[in-house]
Amino acid sequence: MKSVLDNPYRVVGLLSGASADEQDCQVRRFKQYAGSKEVIEDDFSFPFLGNLNRSVENFNSATSRLNFASDRMEASLFWFVLGSQMTDEPAFDAFKEGKFDRAVKIWNEITQSGMVTKSNYSAYHNLSTLYLSGISTEKPIPGTLQIELSSEDIIFRALFLKLKFLESDFFSEFKYLVTNETCQLSNADAQLMFLGQILSEIEEGNSNARKNFIESIINLDFIAKVRFLSDFAEGLNSRIKYQIERTTTKRKSEKHLGDNLGECLLKDTKEDLCFLKVALGASSGEFISTADNLANEMLQCSIDYYNFYRNNNSGHNFVGKALSLANKAFEIAEGTVVRERISDTLNIYEKMKDYEISNAIEILQHLRDTKESYSKLSSRTKINWSKVVDTIIRTIPRIHIAQIRSVKDSSKQREYRELVDFVMGNLNTIQYLRVSYISYWKAENIGALALTIIKTIFNLTQDIIVLFFRLLFSFIG
């Protein structure tokens, strides 16, 4: 973690609680080495932890931070302290030799009792800091300490040890050692400061580290737990609410983009909603309300998108996308009222699932019904098939045929073909050719027929022209 690897104390090369004289001495040593390529020896930067930026600018910045008690306190939560010469000094010697396993063994042995005491509080603190240095929010950086534990175990151990120490009576001694004054930071506030810093780093990294962190918090008991989870949930809720409001604004002016807006909303909030569920619990009223608000907006995106293309009689395959988004909204919804509303919408979509073929069947069936009713009324009343062809071209455009052809419902396909055959049987050759595309299963035969007709017309035209000139020459002669 950056809070450990880039810690001001590490940059300067000191342990937490170092005196002002020790800091001045380290500054002088740094100035001596600054002009050369040599490194400061025998300090507490612990190179085995990973690469260290020790430029003049960075060193001066770190030194300035350590001049303020509040900054020293914050930095000390993520750095090592000499609390017990008997145990900590041997551990630090092992550090300098690059044998961190020996240090882990020393501190592990004196924390096994599970009780924080005056003689071992620094072991809890230091071992936690060591584990924190091994937490990677991104890909592991070459040269950094790699601890042979799973990422879940590292985070859990680091949090358990530090929170237990910060909750103990001996945190007050640590505060005095670090600040050399009466620090008003309470045990609970110290825990919140510590966890808040970790969370800010983890949220900038991968979601897996964030997940492990929150799950560890849920499984631990500490005095600031309720406050931390409450603050965490409030942040999640605010982000989700912002995304919902932003989507609502866009949707109202761009209904035709409803499917994309709904999908983007889900993508931008899904992880936060999962963490909210973990933090508050699935039965929490606050979680259920947030989930329902999110599901409602996703559903409205689906409805607006569906209505836009339905009303514009578009060839766009909108029903499938609207249905997919509504199903995702149903998975998000928690409350009964919202789930029932989504279910009602899904039922409507299901009926229109194969919109293109259903639309075509409806139109063609109406034509057949009209012809049959005319036949019963009077033989003088006839259908204008030229207008029928115009209607078909307008309401069953070529762009629909690919979707009609892909429908797997055999009963709908059979009904569609019967109606097409009925209509095509009432058309003359030119009319037939204009809408021949709706008989997709006869496409090759129709194409051949069209070519034959064109050739025939061409030949007839030639014969008529020849005959005309013969008659003309005969008349003149």
For the ranges 17-31, 197-211, 432-446, 452-466, the lowest mean pLDDT is seen at 452-466
Which range has the top average pLDDT, 102-116, 345-359, 372-386, 452-466?
102-116
d(CA 116, CA 253): 61
In contact, 358 and 404? CB cutoff 8 Å: no
Residue 431 tokens read as 């009319």
Write down how long the chain is.
Answer: 477
Q: Which residues of 368-390 are buried (b: 16+ CB within 10 A; e: fewer)?
A: eeebeeeeeeeeeeeeebeebbe
The reported pLDDT for the residue numbered 373 is: 85
Is 143's pLDDT higher than 60?
no
The reported pLDDT for the residue numbered 262 is: 97
Quick one: 325 and 310 in the same domain? yes
CA-CA distances (angstroms) from residue 81 to 146, 177, 221? 22, 9, 25
For the ranges 73-77, 96-100, 460-464, the lowest mean pLDDT is seen at 460-464
The reported pLDDT for the residue numbered 41 is: 61
- More confident: 342 or 114: 342
The reported pLDDT for the residue numbered 316 is: 64
pLDDT mean over 419-433: 90
Helices 121-133, 85-96: inter-axial angle, 10-degree rounding: 20
- More confident: 201 or 150: 201
Q: Which of these three, 221, 255, 286, is where a domain ends?
A: 221
The rounded Cα 269 to chain-centroid distance in angstroms is 6
Quick one: 164 and 250 in the same domain? no
The reported pLDDT for the residue numbered 218 is: 92
The reported pLDDT for the residue numbered 325 is: 96
Quick one: 333 and 444 in the same domain? no
The reported pLDDT for the residue numbered 53 is: 86
- CB-CB neighbours of 24 under 10 Å: 11
Quick one: 163 and 310 in the same domain? no
For the ranges 76-90, 171-185, 407-421, 450-464, the lowest mean pLDDT is seen at 450-464
pLDDT mean over 398-403: 84
Residue 300 tokens read as 């409205």
Residue 16, SS3?
Answer: strand
pLDDT in tens, 201-214: 887 766 678 888 99
- More confident: 453 or 246: 246
Q: How large a percentage of the chain has pLDDT more than 70?
A: 88
Q: Which of these three, 305, 333, 353, is where a domain ends?
A: 353
Quick one: 162 and 199 in the same domain? yes
Quick one: 246 and 321 in the same domain? yes
Q: Which of these three, 195, 221, 247, is where a domain ends?
A: 221
Which range has the top average pLDDT, 32-46, 350-364, 383-397?
383-397
> What is the per-residue DSSP string for 152-208?
HHHHHHHHHHHHHHHHSTTHHHHHHHHHSS-----HHHHHHHHHHHHHHHHTTS-HH
Quick one: 328 and 393 in the same domain? no
pLDDT in tens, 249-296: 999 999 999 999 999 999 999 999 999 998 898 999 999 999 999 999
Is 459's pLDDT higher than 50?
yes
In contact, 14 and 44? CB cutoff 8 Å: yes
Which range has the top average pLDDT, 46-60, 298-312, 429-443, 459-473?
298-312
Is 323's pLDDT higher than 80?
yes
Quick one: 53 and 167 in the same domain? yes
d(CA 105, CA 101): 6
The reported pLDDT for the residue numbered 211 is: 84
Label residue 165 by pLDDT band (50, 70, 90).
Answer: very high
The reported pLDDT for the residue numbered 141 is: 46
Label residue 148 by pLDDT band (50, 70, 90).
Answer: low
Label residue 144 by pLDDT band (50, 70, 90).
Answer: very low
CA atoms within 13 A on the CB side of 230: 5
Residues 6+ apart with CB under 8 A from 432: 424, 446
- More confident: 454 or 173: 173
Quick one: 311 and 267 in the same domain? yes
The reported pLDDT for the residue numbered 35 is: 62
pLDDT mean over 161-190: 90
Label residue 183 by pLDDT band (50, 70, 90).
Answer: confident
Quick one: 336 and 431 in the same domain? no
Q: For the chain, how many structural domains are there in total?
A: 3
Domain hosting 419: range is 356-476
The reported pLDDT for the residue numbered 420 is: 94
pLDDT mean over 119-133: 93
Label residue 114 by pLDDT band (50, 70, 90).
Answer: confident
Quick one: 318 and 372 in the same domain? no
The reported pLDDT for the residue numbered 477 is: 58
Quick one: 278 and 385 in the same domain? no
Is 406's pLDDT higher than 90?
no
Q: Using alpha carbons only, what angle is made at residue 286 by residues 284 and 290, rounded to the nearest 5 degrees?
A: 120
The reported pLDDT for the residue numbered 182 is: 67
Average confidence score pLDDT of the chain? 86
Label residue 142 by pLDDT band (50, 70, 90).
Answer: very low
The reported pLDDT for the residue numbered 399 is: 81
Torsion of CA 125, 131, 135, 139, to 10 degrees: 150
